[in-house]
Structure 1
Amino acid sequence: MFLFKLSTYNWVPGLRVPRVRNHPRAVLHHLNRVPHWEEGTVDSVLAERIGAGTEDNPFVIYRDPHSIGTDSHKRLRFVCVSDTHNQIDKLTIPRGDVFVHCGDAVKYYSSARDLLKFNKFVGTLPHTHKLFISGNHCISINPERPDLTQEILSNMTYIQDQIIDIEGVRIYGSPWQLKRGLFYRAEAFSYAPENIRADKWAHIPEDIDILLTHSPPYSIRDHCSKSAEHLGCPGLLHEVVTRVKPRIHLFGHMHDGYGASLYKSEENQTLEGENSTSLSSDILFVNLAIDQGRRLGDPVVIDYFY
């Protein structure tokens, strides 16, 4: 039974920008870059244990947290970015096994031309696997023909509402975000807020290791400084923390929220409510939005043991 209701949203007349109201928020432990709209500091104990997300000190996540310290694991190193907006060639991209891009590689007004350039650049990267989901700036991508997009992005695997299995690690990617209205030109893969949970998020499978979306869940590194609002999706939040429970959720879209936080289910009974279980689940949430205005962020490196 969905907890999400139409009354979750207020609407700004004419703009139709969803404003979330009276909705539970996630309780988070920030591992780096405490969001400027929140009070608090980095959880130094967790940051010391999990890592910093850099090449020399990657985030270390285990599929089974109870197996930490044993030596019977495989490892995949993920190198992750989002929202590079035609600036990916300016980045120093660490080596790894899997390169992940969570959308908005281009800008909307030159999307068709620049996706070709992006594909050419990704072809130069040494990673064995390269994954891409779309974002709202990719207006030249036809949501009805992912096969055509795969032909254009020939140097990577294009993921649109599907699972990719890489050496036993199950990854699901979905590009959708809440529809913002006619005044926004970069509206690829936008979806009606009142339907997005049932039509899109409810189809995310539960048996996955890593979730890729372009947009963030509500209250998780989703703040917009211009509107002073949290613009993530409450339906996505509920599906991820109460049902899907991936070990890692990667996204971008909201540039102010760049950074990583850890969610611990036992601390958020208000959000999980009747769906909570006795089994605790930790989820690493990472906003990968590289474009930080006058400067660029760094790719995030994650070592996943399974």
Structure 2
Amino acid sequence: MFKPSTYSCCCWCSVPSVRDHPSAIVHHLTYIPYHEDRDEMVPLNSIQNSGSGTENEPFIVYRNPRMIGKENKHLRFVCMSDTHNDIDKIHIPHGDVFIHCGDAVNHRTSSRDIVRFNDFVGQLSHKYKIFISGNHCVCLNPKRPDKSQKLLTNMIYLQDQLIDIEGVGIYGSPWRPKRGCFYRAEAFGYDSKHIREDKWSKIPDGIDFLLTHVPPYSIRDYNSSTEEQLGCPDLLDEIVTRIRPRIHLFGHMHSCYGASSYKSEDNRILEGDQFQTDSNDILFVNLAIHQGMSYAKSTVIDYYY
């Protein structure tokens, strides 16, 4: 729907700047981003998503709203991202599926610390453990995901791959628009002009969970130092016009931790000809745990399907 001219590029920019691209309207469920005006938030009115994402009050999400109030199978997902060598300092509730959306380590010591991370995850009680890379995981070879999987023996490593967990479809992709050559933590950076065609267009529709490291443009992607939204516009477009996952999990932008709900009826301009009145809401969650001198909490989701 939108062409590569969405971007203006400079080799020293933190990411290619986005111009003239529609922003998504979302309803914040937890932690309204500090740069947004609380008076401008649209009140949430939805029975498809409930809860606060905590161990005692998990987000409750249904694959289909017609399932509400009926007997359904469900799995508990315990999710996080951007732990940067401090995962052992974080309380990790028990659940069925553990998900980590990248930057488990710091780039300077990633080769050593990814081994420690793998050992720690191996001690968790969750039946399934899933990991995608982040920009700090420079020790993982983008061209050899098989080698990354051999290194990460205690979890399922996803790189542009769809898996089925007891009937729940989960797709993971670690890519993000490439930043300027000044930056060293640059694993899985990709040419912004080709990332949609080469990466995002390969994501299948009809999935339950989408895992990426980068956020979609305008959804919990604000960078306070540059005062820009640094999510990927092509990822946003693919998600809302075609993929339509029930849940999109990501990290990367530490200052925008929290959850938001997307509703099609509020985004007709963004969805254009693809707008459908019967579309399910999408739960977007920025899982970035590391908050400088403090840590956010794991996000817990009970998924009924």
Deviation at 1:13, TM superposition (A): 5.5
Residue deviations 1:154-191, cap 9 Å, x none? 00000000011000000000000010011000000000
Letter in 2 for 1:222: D
For residues 183 and 47 of structure 1, do their structure 2 counterparts lie closer, same or farther at Cα, with a shift above 3 Å needed? farther
Task: List gaps (5 residues or longer) in structure 1.
Answer: none
Mean CA deviation greater in 261-270 or 13-22: 13-22
Q: Does 1:212 align with 2:206?
A: no
Please give the secondary structure, in 2, of the residue aligned with 1:89: helix
Letter in 2 for 1:260: A
Q: Output the CA distance in 2 between the equivalents of 1:47 and 1:63.
A: 12
Mean CA deviation greater in 254-263 or 46-55: 46-55
Q: Output the CA distance in 1 between the equivalents of 2:12 and 2:57.
A: 47
Q: Output the CA distance in 2 between the equivalents of 1:211 and 1:173.
A: 6
Q: Output the CA distance in 2 between the equivalents of 1:122 and 1:43.
A: 38
Mean CA deviation greater in 8-17 or 212-221: 8-17
Letter in 2 for 1:8: T
2:22 counterpart (21, 24, 38): 24
Q: Residues 240-255 of structure 1 correspond to what in structure 2 (within 5 A)?
A: 240-255=239-254
1:58 alignment partner in structure 2? 58
Q: Residues 1-306 of structure 1 correspond to what in structure 2 (within 5 A)?
A: 3-12=1-10, 14-15=12-13, 17-40=15-38, 43=43, 46=46, 50-71=50-71, 73-306=72-305
Letter in 1 for 2:51: G
Task: Name the count of aligned residue pairs.
Answer: 303
Q: Output the CA distance in 2 between the equivalents of 1:167 and 1:48.
A: 22
Letter in 2 for 1:156: M
Deviation at 1:281, TM superposition (A): 2.2
Letter in 1 for 2:28: H
TM-score (norm. length: structure 2): 0.96
Deviation at 1:43, TM superposition (A): 4.5
* Poorly superposed stretches of 4+, deviation over 6 Å: none
Deviation at 1:277, TM superposition (A): 2.2
Residue deviations 1:271-291, cap 9 Å, x none? 001121232220000000000
Q: Output the CA distance in 1 between the equivalents of 2:142 and 2:204.
A: 20
Task: List gaps (5 residues or longer) in structure 2.
Answer: none
Q: Output the CA distance in 1 between the equivalents of 2:48 and 2:11.
A: 47
For residues 119 and 236 of structure 1, do their structure 2 counterparts lie closer, same or farther at Cα, with a shift above 3 Å needed? same
Q: Output the CA distance in 1 between the equivalents of 2:262 and 2:134.
A: 24
Work out whether residues 31 and 42 of structure 1, in 8 Å CA contact, stay in contact via their aligned partners in 2: no
Q: Output the CA distance in 2 between the equivalents of 1:30 and 1:14.
A: 33
Deviation at 1:87, TM superposition (A): 0.4
Please give the secondary structure, in 2, of the residue aligned with 1:240: helix
Deviation at 1:42, TM superposition (A): 8.5
Deviation at 1:9, TM superposition (A): 1.3
TM-score (norm. length: structure 1): 0.96
Q: Output the CA distance in 2 between the equivalents of 1:198 and 1:83.
A: 27
